[in-house]
């Protein structure tokens, strides 16, 4: 593989490779391939890939991003669930010498320590992917391309339309920053939506988290537009909310992490065992 100077060149390569390997993109899996050389260059730059780095890529596709990473990193581990694409990846990256292709469902793998994560994974697994990364893996920085609407949910603030359970759970374990927006024309086949690139850096949770706390968050955010105390009364009929009078005017969508912790403790939840350590 050679570096591509234009979208036309990269698009031509992707179409030819798909035809040569008899691969038809699966829309049900959200399969689209990057055809924007500038996006590939930006992803590598955002991740600040160094010669000593081991980089994880989820959804290697045809290896366009894989090669750019391999030229900078010590090693690239690229996970691809599609057998046809995994075979193409091995062929297309064999000359690089530092690419390991893992044919597997990423969501079923055990986590491990890597230096960087750089990926434009299928949007169909976005929620499960980011949750697995922040709870099962250890890394310095992840640079990820998601559907724009999904990316906005990751960075949403309390009280906004996009703020929800996903925002809360991810923010317990990581800080997320929006880096840039991406046109849908950067991919082939062209998806129906635009995308965005985010940076994810792990952090120690601000308080200890157990399964009971995560379950409470899930229950509350099924009724995100209702008043908090009203929802709690429905969920826990015997609960006396007087100790949470300062939340009487708040709706679930307005709750901060500290509000949620206070609610959990008032319901008798313990500090538990911190997850994602």
Q: In this model, does residue 253 exceed pLDDT 90?
A: yes
Per residue in 257-276, pLDDT tens?
Answer: 999 999 999 988 655 434 34
Query: How many Å from the N-terminal Cα to the C-terminal Cα in the chain?
Result: 39
Q: What predicted TM-score, i.e. pTM, was given to this entire model? A: 0.92
Under 8 Å between Cβ of 173 and 203: yes
- Take residue 272 and report the two structure tokens written for it: 């538990």
Q: Which residues pair with 99 in a beta bridge?
A: 76
Q: Which among 195, 202, 197 is positioned nearest to 141, based on CA atoms?
A: 202
Taking only the tens place, the pLDDT of each residue in 2-26 is 578 899 999 999 999 999 999 999 8
Q: What does the buried/exposed string (b/e) look like for 143-180 if buried means 16 or more CB atoms within 10 Å of the residue's CB?
A: bbbbbbebbbbbbbebeeebbbbbbbbbbbbbebeebe
> Higher-confidence residue: 67 or 121?
67
Q: Identify the CATH homologous superfamily for domain 7-202.
A: Vaccinia Virus protein VP39 (3.40.50.150)
- pLDDT in the model for residue 85: 95
Residue-averaged pLDDT of the chain: 93
């Amino acid at each position: 593989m050679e570096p591509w100077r234009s979208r036309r060149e990269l698009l031509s390569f992707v179409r030819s490779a798909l035809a040569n390997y008899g691969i038809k993109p699966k829309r049900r899996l959200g399969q689209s391939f990057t055809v924007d050389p500038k996006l590939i260059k930006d992803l590598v730059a955002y991740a600040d890939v160094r010669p000593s780095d081991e980089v994880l890529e989820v959804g290697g596709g045809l290896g366009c991003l894989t090669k750019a990473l391999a030229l900078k990193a010590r090693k690239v581990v690229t996970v691809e669930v599609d057998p046809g694409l995994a075979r193409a990846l091995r062929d297309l990256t064999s000359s690089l010498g530092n690419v390991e292709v893992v044919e597997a469902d990423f969501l079923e793998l055990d986590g491990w320590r890597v230096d960087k994560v750089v990926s434009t994974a299928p949007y169909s697994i976005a929620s499960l992917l980011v949750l697995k990364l922040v709870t099962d893996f250890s890394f310095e920085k992840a640079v990820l391309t998601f559907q724009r609407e999904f990316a906005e949910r990751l960075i949403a603030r309390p009280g906004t339309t996009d703020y929800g359970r996903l925002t809360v759970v991810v923010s317990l374990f990581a800080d997320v920053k929006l880096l840039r927006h991406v046109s849908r024309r950067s991919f082939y086949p062209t998806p129906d939506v635009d995308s965005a690139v985010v940076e994810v850096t792990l952090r120690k949770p601000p308080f200890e988290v157990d399964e009971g706390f995560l379950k409470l968050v899930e229950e509350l955010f099924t009724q995100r537009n209702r008043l908090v105390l009203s929802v709690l009364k429905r969920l826990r009929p015997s609960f006396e909310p007087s100790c949470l009078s300062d939340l009487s005017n708040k709706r679930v969508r307005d709750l901060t992490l500290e509000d949620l912790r206070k609610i959990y403790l008032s319901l008798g939840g313990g500090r538990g065992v911190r997850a994602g350590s």
